Structure 1
Amino acid sequence: MGLNSVVVEVFVTSVRDGYVQVSAFVAVTVLLFSYVQYRTDGRFVAALSARRELQPLAGAVMGLTPGCGGAIVVMPLYVRGTVSFGTVVATLAATAGDSAFVILALAPEAALYAYGLAFLAAVGFGYLVDWHGLGVSRVDAAVSRLSRTSTDGGVLQTAPTTGSDVHHYDGAGCATPEDQKRPASVGPWRRRLSETALALWWVAAVVALVAGVLYLLRGAPDVPVVLAPTYAGAFTVAGILGTTLSVYLYVVGRHDLGHGAVGAGKDTFETVRETLTHAAMETSFVTVWVVVAYLLYEYGLLFTGIDLQTVAAAAGVLAPIGGAVVGLVPGCGPQIVLAAAYAEGSIPFSALTANAISQDGDALFPLLAIDKTAAVVASVYTTVPALVVGVGLHLLYGPMFGFGVLG
């Protein structure tokens, strides 16, 4: 087989497998948590400001929920003076962002331990910041200079749009005031096209979920790329169609079906349709980055011959340090790539845990929009416990490649 054929085969297989093996399970997880938000109507957020002594604990719980929505809700609350800075640190330290969906789908046991450790570290360090300060006067002074009118209902109004606004949605579903703000160039035909793509996306997700479950039950065998009325055919069609529609929703559909800027993450959903739309958009975002991770891994191996696991093993204690450093990068994309690399057995558990504590996902963007120094300080504070826990795990238990990975 020639190099060109191998390159094409790697591309098609990565596009297919990324959706069936990861995204279908991510969709279920996102839908579950979105439905919980829909049913509880955001009551947890209302209770957050009532008990100040419990705020770091409550903030860590908000951050622990997969995705960035819970953590994003906390940031404007701090700007309004509703919660403490220790709560912000606890929330960001516990935040695993969208990479949590990948680990929950592919390595649930690893997720239990990694995010459990992140939660404990977040709560402890959050209370430490509140009780002993640790130099937060600069941050408090910066926030105190802000006008109270800079926020309205938890959504930043005067701050500029910052960072990725890909997967936080307001007004998805039936026509709303947000829908009326859609660009004039978007006509009814394109909205119908996006709604059709959304419906087909869920069909592909259901088929891919069934195929993915059977794949695991069969011991994760090699599945040929075929177009036929067989299991392998359904696996292939659902995977390729699902990824293609995910790219469409990521690039085009999010503008047509409604989305909000960073800092406007919703803590509840008004309708089931809005819940389904949010879950599809969130999963589409994850899908794009998962496929990128698959392609980087496979093409890296193909063209360089370098085994990332061997490199990570040789790195020793630098691996968890590297995981913590990657967590300093705002946004969920790089973290999803790292999570996918862990599921491939390329990085150790200590690096995954350090990254889980250090990363802030999209939740850091609202703070960046207001005061960059405050955001940097908060991000650095989450990196300290990440280094302590990650390096400690590596020294005590070793690298632990592939711990908790299914199949």
Structure 2
Amino acid sequence: MHRATSLDETGHRAWKLFLWSGLVLLSVVAPQETSETIQRALSDAYLQVSVFVGGTLIVFYFLENRARIDTAMLLKRHARWQVPIAAIIGALPGCGGAIIIITQYVLGRIGFGSMVAVLTATMGDAAFLLLAREPQTALLVMGLSIVVGTISGWIVERVHGPDFMRIPPDDTPQETIQCGQFVNYRTTTLWAWYGLMAPGLALGLGSAFQQDTDAWFGPLAAFAPSHWIGYTGALFCLLVWALLPGKGAAMVNLAAHPACRAHVKTRSRIVFETSFVTAWVVLAFLVFELGTLWSGIDLAHLFKAAEPLLPAIGVLVGFIPGCGPQIIVTTLYLGGLVPFSAQIGNAISNDGDALFPAIAMAPKTAFLATLYTAIPALIVAYGFFLFGY
């Protein structure tokens, strides 16, 4: 059994390395227009997104470690306020808060209304992306998510009662998860990753303030050093992602899980989560840039023509478990391809990686809670759409 698992993990790593190698090869030997488009997409993804996500994670986890809030004790002490507490914790960037609340539900300590509240409020790892690029919009989305999540949770408890679908403590499944060997990195990897992140963040900030960052390099400016630092940083993030041995570790943010936090160092979590987000952002950039190049179709015009459907599509994408598809929606919003109504609809309907433990440990409840999040998501999304957002 152990041998079969090892072979399976090796296979997942092999296909990811194959994809990474193919991307590197195409960026070098493909026809000039294609290779330059790939290089530009990689560099832009790193300097416009990844470095800001990494910087945001550093600040966020520093504050989180200083706060040291015991969520379980907080929920136990304030039983009457479990629904708004769940919504507030769920609205925090990343999936960790939502997964903690889901774990408390599975342990029989909170009700179904709190589960609906947290799944409605959470935006998953896409929140880091939005917070890094448009902090005011991110705060607006978080505030709306808390309000909508709280109201939704209270309505559910009012309609069904506080004990609806509550799991008896004796029936809680035993959960095991192994992730320390996946997301704790060697010192050399950490030095290389942060060594690229530091200048990348400086260049990203410079570009954001409309500075000619290549001019900072004096006589080397002619070689476009900013472009190559971004290109190298993106490829290194993708390599870190590709080298993860397990399928789950690559496609799901395991570092957010409470079972991982005790033995995964913060500096490794930052590397893992930033690389995870980078993989999906690069996918979105490449699909858009290469799609436009190869098809000759103006994708921005295509999205504009389908604008009335975009809020509903954003909500439907939110039903897909995991943060990856949601990161793509946020990337499209930041690129001006989809309206805010699609973004807020997706933010309310998506459950991030919190849905995976919910599906594994309480599948019927997870399915029903996901359906319930669609109702406020559609109402809010089309409410903003009708007002031109």
Q: Is the 8 A contact 2:61 2:266 kept in 1?
A: yes
Question: Could you tell me how far apart the structure 1 residues matched to 2:279 and 2:219 are?
Answer: 26
* Residues 118 and 369 of structure 1: CA distance in aligned 2, closer, same or farther (over 3 Å): same
Q: Which residue of 2 aligns with 1:240?
A: 231
Q: Report which of the two has the higher share of helix.
A: 2
Cα distance, 1:307 vs structure 2: 3.0
Which region of structure 1 is more displaced relative to structure 2, 351-360 or 274-283? 274-283
Cα distance, 1:130 vs structure 2: 1.6
- The residue correspondences of 1:328-407 to structure 2 (distance < 5 A) are 328-395=319-386, 397-398=387-388, 400=389
Question: Could you tell me how far apart the structure 1 residues matched to 2:337 and 2:39 are?
Answer: 21
Question: Could you tell me how far apart the structure 1 residues matched to 2:332 and 2:32 are?
Answer: 24
Find out whether 1:265 has 2:289 as its counterpart: no
Cα distance, 1:229 vs structure 2: 3.5
Q: Is the 8 A contact 2:214 2:221 kept in 1?
A: no
Q: Is the 8 A contact 2:180 2:260 kept in 1?
A: no
Give the residue type in structure 1 aligned to 2:355.
L
Higher relative CO (Cα under 8 Å, sequence separation at least 6) belongs to 1
Question: Could you tell me how far apart the structure 2 residues matched to 1:129 and 1:109 are?
Answer: 30
Question: Could you tell me how far apart the structure 1 residues matched to 2:381 and 2:276 are?
Answer: 28
Find out whether 1:208 has 2:200 as its counterpart: yes
Question: Could you tell me how far apart the structure 2 residues matched to 1:284 and 1:104 are?
Answer: 17
Cα distance, 1:135 vs structure 2: 11
Q: Which residue of 1 aligns with 2:305?
A: 314
Cα distance, 1:283 vs structure 2: 0.5
State, as a whole percentage, how many aligned pairs show the same letter: 32
Cα distance, 1:53 vs structure 2: 1.4
Give the residue type in structure 2 aligned to 1:250.
W
Q: Which residue of 2 aligns with 1:179?
A: none
Give the residue type in structure 2 aligned to 1:323.
G
Question: Could you tell me how far apart the structure 2 residues matched to 1:351 and 1:120 are?
Answer: 18
Deviations 1:102-126 (A, max 9, x none): 1112222322222322221111101
Cα distance, 1:223 vs structure 2: 7.3
Q: Which residue of 2 aligns with 1:37?
A: 64
* Residues 263 and 233 of structure 1: CA distance in aligned 2, closer, same or farther (over 3 Å): closer
Q: Which residue of 2 aligns with 1:197?
A: 189
Structure 2 residues without counterparts, runs of 5 or longer: 1-28
Q: Which residue of 2 aligns with 1:9?
A: 36
Find out whether 1:115 has 2:135 as its counterpart: no
Deviations 1:257-283 (A, max 9, x none): x99995971399569x91111111110
Q: Which residue of 2 aligns with 1:72?
A: 99
The normalised TM-score by structure 1 is: 0.79
The normalised TM-score by structure 2 is: 0.82
* Residues 55 and 254 of structure 1: CA distance in aligned 2, closer, same or farther (over 3 Å): farther
Cα distance, 1:386 vs structure 2: 0.4
* Residues 262 and 212 of structure 1: CA distance in aligned 2, closer, same or farther (over 3 Å): closer
* Residues 263 and 245 of structure 1: CA distance in aligned 2, closer, same or farther (over 3 Å): closer
Q: Root-mean-square deviation (CA), in Å? A: 3.2
* Residues 315 and 46 of structure 1: CA distance in aligned 2, closer, same or farther (over 3 Å): same
Q: Which residue of 1 aligns with 2:7?
A: none
Structure 1 residues without counterparts, runs of 5 or longer: 174-190, 401-407
Which region of structure 1 is more displaced relative to structure 2, 276-285 or 227-236? 227-236
Question: Could you tell me how far apart the structure 1 residues matched to 2:233 and 2:307 are?
Answer: 38
Q: Which residue of 2 aligns with 1:405?
A: none
Question: Could you tell me how far apart the structure 1 residues matched to 2:65 and 2:296 are?
Answer: 47
Q: Which residue of 1 aligns with 2:109?
A: 82
Q: Is the 8 A contact 1:66 1:101 kept in 2?
A: yes
- The residue correspondences of 1:81-230 to structure 2 (distance < 5 A) are 81-133=108-160, 137=164, 139-140=165-166, 143-144=167-168, 147-148=171-172, 150-151=173-174, 156-157=175-176, 194-218=186-210, 229-230=220-221
* Residues 135 and 35 of structure 1: CA distance in aligned 2, closer, same or farther (over 3 Å): closer
Cα distance, 1:45 vs structure 2: 4.0
Q: Which residue of 2 aligns with 1:181?
A: none
Cα distance, 1:32 vs structure 2: 1.6
Question: Could you tell me how far apart the structure 2 residues matched to 1:265 and 1:57 are?
Answer: 21
